[in-house]
Amino acid sequence: MIEFKDVSKTYQAKEGPVKAITDVNLTIPDGKIYGIVGYSGAGKSTLIRMLNGLETPTTGKVTVNGQNVSELSGQRLREERLQIGMIFQHFDLLWSRTVLENVEFPLEIAKKGNKKERQKKAEELVKLVGLQGRENAYPSELSGGQKQRVGIARALANDPKILLSDEATSALDPQTTDEVLELLLDINHRLGITIVVITHEMHVIRKICDHVAVLDAGRIVEEGPVLDVFKHP
Ligand code: ADP
Ligand code: ADP
C-alpha cells in the first residue's frame, strides 16, 4: 500500500519558493490499477520523486508498505526502491545491449543469483511480455511498442510490489498504446501487482484504471473510482 498523508512540497528555487504539492492525502491499495492524471506542472513528477525517496516532503509523510520513505537512506533505500519497478515515456533502454541483456540488467545491479539464473528469469519475463524470439535483438531493431515491452519486462525483474508507469504510452501511437495498456492489465491480473499510472491522458485512465486522482496545481481536486469521477451527467 502507498500512502501520502498531509503531504506538501515546496522547492526553494532561485526566484523564491515554489509550492509544487499542497495537502495531498492519497491511499493506493494493493493490487489496484490507480491513475494519477494532471496537466504539465501539476506536480506528478514531484509525487513520484517523493515515492522513490528522491525528494523529501516539506511536511507530511509518504509511506510504501508501512515504511516511511524519508526515514530510509543508503542500502535500505536502495532495497526499498526495488519494490517499485518503473517504466518511462522514452523507455530508457541500454542501446548497446540486447533485449535479454536489458531485462537482466537490474538483476545484475541487485546482484541476484548467478548468470544462469538471471538469464532464466530474464527469458521468462521476455515471454511474459510477448517478445519471445526477439531475445537477441537490439532496441534499435524494435518498434516503440516492443521497446516498451522490454521496459516492462525490465521493470518486473526484481519482483517489485508496485509497477509505476510514468507517461509510458505518451510517445506511442493510439493502437500501440492500447496494446501496451492491455499488457499492463494482463500483468495486473496475472501477478496481482499494484500499478500506478501517471499520465496527462484521460483515455489511458479510462481504459485501465480502477481508481483515479486528478491533480491540479499541486492539489487533488477529484478522487474516486474512475466510473464515478468521469461519469457523464
Ligand atoms: P508535472 O510532473 O506534473 O509536470 P512537476 O512535479 O514536475 O509537475 O512540477 C510541479 C511544479 O513544481 C511546477 O511548477 C514546477 O515548475 C515546479 N518544480 C518541479 N521541480 C522543481 C525544482 N527542482 N525546483 C523548483 N521548482 C520545481
Ligand atoms: P551501456 O554501455 O551501459 O550498455 P549505453 O552506452 O548503450 O549503455 O547507453 C547509455 C545510455 O544512453 C542508455 O541508458 C540510453 O538511454 C542512452 N542511449 C544510448 N544510445 C542511444 C541512442 N542511440 N538513442 C537514445 N539514447 C541512447
Number of H helices and E strands in the chain, helices first, is 8, 10
Cβ atoms of 23 and 223 within 8 Å: the answer is no
Angle, helix 174-191 to helix 144-155, in steps of 10 degrees: 20
Atom of ligand 1 nearest to the CA of 215: 3
Q: State residue 230's pLDDT score.
A: 85
Question: Position 90: which residue type?
Answer: H
> For residues 106 and 122, what is the distance between their CA atoms, to the nearest angstrom?
10
Q: Whose CA is nearest to atom 13 of ligand 2?
A: 94
Parallel/antiparallel/unpaired status of strands 33-37 and 194-199? parallel
Q: State residue 64's pLDDT score.
A: 95
Gap from CA of 43 to ligand 1 centroid (Å): 6
Percent residues over pLDDT 90 in the chain: 94
Q: State residue 36's pLDDT score.
A: 97
Q: State residue 179's pLDDT score.
A: 97
The model's pLDDT over 4-41, given as tens digits with 9 standing for 90+, comes to 999 999 999 999 999 999 999 999 999 999 999 999 99
Question: Position 110: which residue type?
Answer: A
Confidence bin at 94 (pLDDT 50/70/90): very high
Rounded average pLDDT over 157-167: 96
Measuring from each residue's beta carbon to the nearest atom of ligand 2, which residues come in under 6 Å? 92, 94-97
Q: State residue 73's pLDDT score.
A: 87
Q: Whose CA is nearest to atom 11 of ligand 1?
A: 20
Q: State residue 220's pLDDT score.
A: 98
Rounded average pLDDT over 35-61: 95
Confidence bin at 197 (pLDDT 50/70/90): very high
Provide the whole-model pTM: 0.90
Residue 57 above 70 pLDDT?
Answer: yes
Parallel/antiparallel/unpaired status of strands 59-64 and 67-68? antiparallel
Residue 93 above 70 pLDDT?
Answer: yes
Atom of ligand 1 nearest to the CA of 45: 2
- Name every residue whose Cβ is closer than 8 Å to that of residue 103 and which is 6 or more positions away in sequence: 122, 125, 126, 150, 153, 154, 157
Q: State residue 233's pLDDT score.
A: 66
* Residue of 11, 56, 88, 196 to test ligand 1 pocket, by largest number of atoms within 8 Å of CB: 11
Q: Is the CB of 41 under 6 A from ligand 1?
A: yes
Q: Is the CB of 119 under 6 A from ligand 1?
A: no
**What is the four-CA torsion angle of 200, 13, 24, 230, rounded to 10 degrees?**
-20
Beta bridge partners of 17: 12
**DSSP-assigned letter for residue 182:** H
The set of cell numbers assigned to 121 is 528469469
> For residues 67 and 59, what is the distance between their CA atoms, to the nearest angstrom?
16
CB atoms within 10 A of CB 202: 14
